[in-house]
Amino acid sequence: MSPDRAILKRAVERGEREGGSVEFKERLTKDLHLSDGRLESLAAQLRHRVLSGDGEATYVVGVTDDGGIAGIPPEEFSESMDVLSLLAQEAGAHIDDVETWAADGAGDENRLVGVATISEGTVMEDDEHIVVGTAGHVDHGKSTLVGSLVTGQSDDGEGGTRSFLDVQPHEIERGLSADLSYGVYGFDDDGPVRMNNPHRKGDRARIVEEADRLVSFVDTVGHEPWLRTTIRGIVGQKLDYGLLTVAADDGPTKTAREHLGILLATELPTIVAITKADLVDDDRLQEVEREVERLLRDVDKTPLRVERHGIEAAIEEISETVVPVVTTSAVTKEGLETLDRLFENLPKTGIAPEDEQFRMYVDRTYNVTGVGAVASGTIKSGTVEAGDPLLLGPMPDGSFLNVEARSIEMHYHRVDEATAGRIVGIALKGVEEAQVERGMVLLPREADPQPVREFEAEVMVLNHPTRIDDGYEPVVHLETVSEAAAFYPAGGQLLPGDTGITRVRFKFQPYLVEEGQRFVFREGHSKGVGTVTDVTPGR
């Protein structure tokens, strides 16, 4: 909860008045306020408030008609926000932000009062939304480059735009933050739609509202000891493209090579951005460009220099085998327009059939005051709507819990539904936050999931000091699952460079695994990749 009650005080002081933009509600309930006739009337009232506020209205919930602070229990406050979201949608608006406080101001969270900001316009409904996973060695300008892209600002040479991608702890406390997406910008008919103040949640929400095409960046970690986090960012999200950065003053490092291997091994179309071009002379820049091209050819990929072959060729040719290479500088903004044009025109690659069942692997969990347990992740397939009955699991014993999608939020917009490829936070009814863990999956109630401890896979060993024998125990990264597992190769062993069939058995508990899913396995550094070929329930 925000410690600053000034927002609440100002809203109460302004008060309800005819022709004003402030509305007081003690509570809103589905049974009463969504009944026949009431929904249309309340939606018209909300629309009037929005128009009176030049496109923005303020709803104070948990107060009496005269502005007295009454407060309501957290579960009633959450229901009130669900109802308000539906009313906003009916009125062609959306909830931009919600602030909550203890009713008495003394820290007692048993009764809440809150201020919801309602803005005109609905959330983007189309599928023009690509998700880009970034990778690269620490200090190779990855986050700085993305920071300059989403703001259009030049970097100060000290990585100043990098701060635009930092996730602040208070963001999680103050709303349903789908915090996997550290950067977002978009495009409309006039070109890029960028963030003016990326530290404001409302500015990110504005991008979603105004842009016809959205680009979300899932930023990964460049430090070698945190390779596990990088793998999770690449394997665990429904990415459309990868963006690997290589600094011109350093060249391809061991970590950069490893990140490239993971991107390409998971068959993700990738762009390589040579960064910090302003720090080196032309000879050094050409040397690094040749090193990058050699690196790509060494792994049987074809480099495509965008400066030489053109943006249209890059858009047409990018694939699992062709890798566009762009030279950039966040300081001089060299190459940024090229990346803009690529991201504006690259087709979405991770489209799932509309009739596929909803599925989302949980990547992060947290508890939001007045809302409860929130599961964050990228929707893998299908569509989820607020109010949908869902299954959550598997639990350690293999069972699934009955839960409900209480509300959904994307880039700080509360939405009524979300589709495959969207990075969302889903507030769950019927479960405590402590019960929700990374690696679990959300499915429709009618699904019949069969979690397994063991499956068969075809694996390729990328690097290993010796051979892989029966009982070898790496960490397997599959979707958002990160779990120790034992390998039992069909031929008894696998050597570096080998491709073969192996049984894989999770060490501690079952997970939902499906044929065709790809995974990375590692022991310290990445050792190889695999594809699930056979799943036998009950093992």
Element (H, E) at 217: strand 213-219
Both tokens of 191, joined, read: 């070109």
Return the higher-pLDDT residue of 170 and 306.
Answer: 306
The pLDDT-based confidence of 6 (bands split at 50, 70, 90) is confident
Helix (H) or strand (E) holding 413: strand 413-415
Q: Tokens in use for 66?
A: 């005269």
For the stretch 425-474, pLDDT in tens is: 898 999 998 999 989 999 999 999 999 999 999 988 876 566 788 999 98
pLDDT digits (tens, 9 = 90+) for 243-281: 999 999 999 987 777 777 777 666 789 999 999 999 999
Fold (CATH) for 454-535: Elongation Factor Tu (Ef-tu); domain 3 (2.40.30)
| Residue that wins the pLDDT comparison between 99 and 510 | 510
- pLDDT category of residue 219 using cuts at 50, 70 and 90: low
What CATH class has 359-444? mainly beta
Distance CA 33, CA 150 (A): 40
What class, spelled out in words, does domain 129-345 have in CATH? Answer: alpha beta
What was the pLDDT predicted at 485? 94
Which tops the pLDDT comparison, 315 or 320? 315
Other beta carbons within 10 Å of 56: 17
**Mean pLDDT value across residues 123-131:** 61
Domain range list for the chain: 6-120, 129-345, 359-444, 454-535
Give the whole-angstrom CA distance, residue 268 versus residue 320.
Answer: 6
Distances in whole angstroms, Cα of residue 446 to Cα of each of 72, 207, 358, 390: 34, 35, 11, 8
Q: Are 129-345 and 359-444 the same fold in CATH?
A: no
Q: What pLDDT is stored for residue 221 in this prediction?
A: 41
Of the chain, the end-to-end C-alpha distance in Å amounts to 46
For 11-128, strand residue ranges (E) read 22-25, 56-61, 93-102, 112-120
Between helix 38-52 and helix 74-90 the angle, nearest 10°, is 80
pLDDT confidence of residue 126: 43
* Overall size of the chain counted in residues: 539
Categorize the per-residue pLDDT at 303 as very low, low, confident or very high, splitting at 50, 70 and 90: very high
Strand-pairing partners, residue 183, are 217
